[in-house]
Amino acid sequence: MKYIGFPRPSYPLAAIKKRAMKVPLIFMFLFLYCSSSIGQIQRFHEMSDQDFKLISDLNNILDSTNTIVYPYIEDNIYLGGIDIQWLTKEFGFTNKQLSLNVTDTVSLKGNTYFDVIDSDSILKFRNESFCEIEKGKLIQEPFYYIIKQIYNKRNVRYFQRPIISRNRAFAIVQYDDICGSTCGFGKVLIMQQKNGQWRIIKELRIAMY
C-alpha cells in the first residue's frame, strides 16, 4: 500500500494482526445487516379483537388499492395542538387516556380482518437510506423498493395506537400512508361506533410528508 503525502504509519505486529482481524468482521456485519435472509426477533403485545375491528373498519373505509398495512403499531397518536378539554367534554375521553405514553409494540399479524406485510426479514430496511439489495445496484429507501417488488404496492399504511372512550362509543385513530421519507400523508380522526360498525365523524388533523 502506498501512502502519498503522509509518512507511512508504524504499528506493532500484534496491533496489525488485531486490525486485520477486525476488517473482515466489519464487512461480515455489513453484509448480514443488508441481507434479506436475517429476520427480526422481538416480542409484541396482541391487540384485542374489538380493537382489531376498529382498525379493520377504518382500513375498509380508506382506499387500499395501492397500499399494504405495516404489521406493527409502534407509536402513540400525536395530539399536539388539539383541544384536549373539548375531546374530554364532547366525546368522553379522559385526560389520562389522552396523555398516556405507551411504549410497547402491538402486532397486527395473524388478524382475520386485513392483510399485513408478512416478511419480518424485510422490516430492517425501513430505517435504511441506501442498501445494496441487488448485486452492484445501490437502492435508495430499500424498504419501499422491496414492498413494491413483493406486493406490487406503492404505499405502506401505518396505524398508531387507537384511543377509545370509556363507553366505547368514540375513538381517536391515526393512520399514515407512506411511500418514502418525503412522500405520503396521514390523518388523525374521530370515529363513532353505531350498530357494531365504526365510521368517521370528524378529521382532527391532516399531515403531508
What is the percentage of the chain residues whose pLDDT exceeds 90? 49
Average pLDDT of the chain is 80
CA dist 179 → 26, 38, 58, 98, 126 (Å): 31, 23, 19, 29, 11
Q: What is the pLDDT of residues 131-187, one digit of tens each?
A: 766 667 778 888 998 899 899 999 999 999 999 999 999 999 999 999 998 899 999
Give Cα 58 to chain centroid, integer Å.
18
- Tell me, what amino acid is at 148? K
Contact partners, residue 40, CB within 8 Å, separation at least 6: 120, 121, 123, 124
For the entire predicted model, the pTM comes to 0.76
Rounded to whole angstroms, the Cα distance separating 171 from 173 reads 6
